[in-house]
């Protein structure tokens, strides 16, 4: 059996290196696109779920709204609207401390979110924590 050595300057070796490079680059690009599309899918699912929660809230169905907003936060944990809405439901259900935590997170994520500031103030007032 003969061993064939390929010198690194031969056209065959250069072609193999080029193909290897392009296959690796294509794999990286595909992985990035897949990750980007999964983030987009997650964001669109979060938006649709948020709308379901708001619909349930308008119908007065606090349990369904809570479930939807909790799902929103699993899909988009950095959503100030999701935290604010879940906080509102929790406040309406009498879970003041949990509501305050979500309002604080909403304000931290978006310091200009006026509704979250107002809800946080209402939660403090409901908790008789007037210095908060």
40 located within any domain: yes
8 located within any domain: no
pLDDT for res 9: 55
pLDDT for res 33: 46
Distances (CA, A) of 61 to 9, 40, 49, 50, 88: 72, 29, 15, 14, 13
pLDDT for res 36: 52
pTM: 0.69
Distances (CA, A) of 46 to 49, 101, 115, 116, 123: 5, 21, 20, 19, 25
CATH number, domain containing residue 42: 1.25.40.10
pLDDT for res 129: 62
93 located within any domain: yes
pLDDT tens for residues 54-66?
999 999 999 999 9
pLDDT tens for residues 105-122?
999 999 999 999 999 999
**What's 95's DSSP letter?**
-
pLDDT for res 95: 96
Q: Domain residues for 62?
A: 33-126
Q: Scan for tokens 């879940």, then name that residue.
A: 86
3 located within any domain: no
Report how many domains make up the chain.
1
Beta-carbon count within 10 A of 74 CB: 12
66 located within any domain: yes
Residue ranges in the chain modelled with pLDDT below 50: 3, 5-8, 13, 15-35
pLDDT for res 96: 95
């Amino acid at each position: 059996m003969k061993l064939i050595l390929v010198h690194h300057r031969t056209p065959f070796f250069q072609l193999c290196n080029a193909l290897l490079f392009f296959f690796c680059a294509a794999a990286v690009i595909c992985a990035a696109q897949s990750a980007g599309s999964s983030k987009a899918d997650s964001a669109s699912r979060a938006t649709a779920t948020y709308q379901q929660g708001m619909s349930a809230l308008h119908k007065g169905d606090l349990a369904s709204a809570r479930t939807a907003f909790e799902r929103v936060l699993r899909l988009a944990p950095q959503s100030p609207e999701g935290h604010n809405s879940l906080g509102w439901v929790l406040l309406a259900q009498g879970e003041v401390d949990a509501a305050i935590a979500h309002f604080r997170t909403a304000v931290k994520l978006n310091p200009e979110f006026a509704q979250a500031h107002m809800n946080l103030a209402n939660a403090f007032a409901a908790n008789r924590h007037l210095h908060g």
